[in-house]
Structure 1
Amino acid sequence: LVNLLAYPGLGSMTAMTVFYPLDTARIRLQVDANRKPKSTPSILAEIAKEEGLTALYRGWFPVISSLCCSNFVYFYTFNSLKTALANGKAASQPGKDLLMGIISGTVNVLLTTPMWVMNTRLKLQGAKFRSTELHQTHYAGIFDAFRQIVKSEGVKALWNGVLPSLILVFNPAVQFMFYEGMKRRVLKKRLLPMSIFLIGAVAKAIAVTATYPLQTVQAMLRVRYKTEGKTGLVASIQSVLQLLKERLRAGYLGIGLYKGLEAKLLQTVLTAALMLVVYEKITAATFKVMGLSRKVKH
């Protein structure tokens, strides 16, 4: 069981490493309001020219560490709920998959948000910002980032952006609802790697497009260091709405809310699809090596 739960983390780490530069382009467009939207290759070339090729992989280790922890927590909770809610030979249902995804996502957000706040800050160190609202930080690493954030901004700053993150639990929840639903449709046939890849890609694309404006706000909240001194749910909602309004004003017909969507779709869809291929293939291989039959309910 422990080995199986580690597979999603292994798949995510592999996929994120391969497509990491796309995530670099995405976050630059999301948080830097004055950076003009361009094609993903143009943004990557611009970053490499101004900051060097290594800038495309800046913050890789903190991101990979957070991703592994996040996926482990998510899949552990998801599989535990799936086992607990199993009722004889009853087929899995989309509604049940969605509920398990939401619960798993909520647990994941509450436990891992501090890691994502820190790695977002580290990922943007050394970036040449166009916006004067963004300021450089000087963290020596994950632990130093933790220490400085707590000292200068307070413990609550580690959960910056937690509200949109909680809303965004619908992203993986919707993704897995569509993924499980489409997978069950083709289970009567041999589940080829390309089928897994395409199913994962389509499911993730739907989820990402629907929730991208909130992802933009989430990233902005994680890197904004000055606060208004207000706390609580009402203040959090006001902050989210204010940032949404800012981006709507910054981009014609809401384009500001979707800056970086091209890079995000390329990165996250390919990452999710490749991760699921690795997950399914390693799981199947393990069952084969152990001489166990993998029964799938449908």
Structure 2
Amino acid sequence: MSDALINGLAGAGGGIIAQLLTFPLQTVNARQQTERDPSKPAFKDGAARQLYLVVKNEGWERLYGGLMPSLVGTAASQGVYYYFYQIFRNRAEAKALERSRRGLGDGSVGMLQSLTVAALSGCVNVLLTNPIWVAVTRMQTHRKANIQQSPQDLICANDKALEASTTENTPYKTIDVFQELYKEAGVLGFWKGVIPSLIMVSNPAIQFMLYETLLKRIKKRRASNLKGADGLTALEIFLLGAVAKLGATVLTYPLLVVKARLQVKQRIDGDKRHHYKGTFDAITKLVQYEGLRGMYKGMGTKIVQSVFASALLFMIKEELVKGARLLVTGNTSLVKKLPSKPS
């Protein structure tokens, strides 16, 4: 079994487990990012309050709206990302060794090359899996009608068109989302938000840079006879992944808000503030009408969810790689540290 395939399968497995454990926070965060009405709870309440309100008004199952396509997307994204990352990484390492033989460098991959590898892997992943994440965003932001409301209240709410997505009690399935997207914008509708998503490949690049920097510092302080992959325990990998993801998320969060606004179903009222023609138009209107605060709406929830999920992914993925290598070769010394993509 090739390095790329082992890492791809391990990344997919780790991503699925992390997704299952943190999905309710993802749902809440998607609603926070796309809510534009200051009177709505999603605009001002914290994650804990939002979780409570969703369960109370819509049922606990709404916290897992879009879970199945999300799991598919996670497995596909992590698998694609790690597969291509290993391929690009192997080529970069081969070139570094070749330069070393010519007396150039020490044979290791430099920071610029590492960032390029992560960026290329991220771009391939975004282009191949974006349709899945558009569907997930729409299913997460779909609001089930509160059964405690009267029919008159629901009619008024629909007439005012305050919600970004349809508010109803009927099931909202993946096929419904795809049909809706195709009616709205044809085939290109499946790649809504792809531009900020492509820019967001800087997130794993930044995360990788922070991760590798911290990793090298720790390695310098470690004795060469420590047990485990490169002398690091699962808990240490977890903490390194958390710190690296925290830094990357803070720097790139506004792009996540813009992407969510583009992917969610556009409002049907006549307010031009609720219609985005593209990435630049979304950024302009966000800053103009909601200020810088709007660019960081729901960041607290995202940090908790993303950092925890990423740290879990790092830890689980490394353990899966070690297990796979032990089964295939009986040697765990070839385990390589790879960065996670964003949740």
Identify the TM-score tier after normalising by the shorter chain: 0.7 to 0.9
The 1:91/1:250 distance shift into structure 2, 3 A limit, reads: same
Question: In structure 1, how many angstroms separate the alpha carbons of the residues matched to 2:185 and 2:301?
Answer: 31
Taking the TM superposition and a 5 Å limit, the aligned residue runs for 1:218-297 are: 218-225=259-266, 239-251=278-290, 254-289=292-327, 290-295=329-334
Do 2:55 and 2:63's aligned partners in 1 also have CA atoms closer than 8 Å? Answer: yes
Point out the more displaced range, 78-87 or 134-143.
134-143
**1:145 Cα deviation after fit:** 2.7
SS across alignment from 1:171: helix
Do 2:7 and 2:82's aligned partners in 1 also have CA atoms closer than 8 Å? Answer: no
Question: In structure 1, how many angstroms separate the alpha carbons of the residues matched to 2:18 and 2:116?
Answer: 26
Match of 1:175 in 2: 207
Given candidates 131, 134, 138, the residue that maps to 1:114 is 131
Do 2:69 and 2:174's aligned partners in 1 also have CA atoms closer than 8 Å? Answer: yes
Match of 1:93 in 2: 110
Tell me the TM-score normalized by structure 2: 0.77
**1:58 Cα deviation after fit:** 1.5
Question: In structure 2, how many angstroms separate the alpha carbons of the residues matched to 1:244 and 1:161?
Answer: 12
1:155 is the counterpart of 2:187:
yes
The 1:94/1:139 distance shift into structure 2, 3 A limit, reads: farther
Question: In structure 1, how many angstroms separate the alpha carbons of the residues matched to 2:74 and 2:251?
Answer: 22
SS across alignment from 1:90: coil
> Which runs of 5 or more structure 1 residues have no equivalent in the other structure?
228-236
**1:293 Cα deviation after fit:** 4.6
Point out the more displaced range, 134-143 or 119-128.
134-143
Question: In structure 1, how many angstroms separate the alpha carbons of the residues matched to 2:193 and 2:55?
Answer: 29
The 1:25/1:133 distance shift into structure 2, 3 A limit, reads: closer
SS across alignment from 1:242: helix
Partner letter of residue 135 of structure 1? S
Taking the TM superposition and a 5 Å limit, the aligned residue runs for 1:1-298 are: 1=2, 2-34=5-37, 35=40, 36-87=43-94, 88=97, 90-127=107-144, 132=162, 134-136=164-166, 141-187=173-219, 189=222, 190-225=231-266, 239-251=278-290, 254-289=292-327, 290-295=329-334
Question: In structure 2, how many angstroms separate the alpha carbons of the residues matched to 1:100 and 1:156?
Answer: 27
Question: In structure 2, how many angstroms separate the alpha carbons of the residues matched to 1:110 and 1:3?
Answer: 22
**1:225 Cα deviation after fit:** 3.8
CA deviations on 1:14-66 (whole Å, 9 max, x unpaired) are: 01111111111101100111132222111111111111112111211111111
Do 1:106 and 1:169's aligned partners in 2 also have CA atoms closer than 8 Å? Answer: yes
Partner letter of residue 11 of structure 2? P
The 1:293/1:30 distance shift into structure 2, 3 A limit, reads: closer
**1:133 Cα deviation after fit:** 5.5
Partner letter of residue 51 of structure 1? E
Question: In structure 2, how many angstroms separate the alpha carbons of the residues matched to 1:131 and 1:212?
Answer: 28
Larger RCO, structure (CA 8 Å, separation 6 or more): 1
Do 1:5 and 1:76's aligned partners in 2 also have CA atoms closer than 8 Å? Answer: yes
Partner letter of residue 160 of structure 1? K
Question: In structure 2, how many angstroms separate the alpha carbons of the residues matched to 1:176 and 1:201?
Answer: 12
Do 1:11 and 1:276's aligned partners in 2 also have CA atoms closer than 8 Å? Answer: yes
Point out the more displaced range, 165-174 or 36-45.
36-45
Partner letter of residue 240 of structure 1? T
**1:146 Cα deviation after fit:** 2.3
Corresponding residue pairs, total: 288
Tell me the TM-score normalized by structure 1: 0.87
Partner letter of residue 245 of structure 2? K
**1:114 Cα deviation after fit:** 1.1
The 1:286/1:296 distance shift into structure 2, 3 A limit, reads: closer
Partner letter of residue 44 of structure 1? L
> Which runs of 5 or more structure 2 residues have no equivalent in the other structure?
98-105, 146-156, 223-230, 269-275, 338-343
Partner letter of residue 13 of structure 2? L
Do 1:8 and 1:72's aligned partners in 2 also have CA atoms closer than 8 Å? Answer: yes
**1:226 Cα deviation after fit:** 7.1
The 1:127/1:260 distance shift into structure 2, 3 A limit, reads: farther
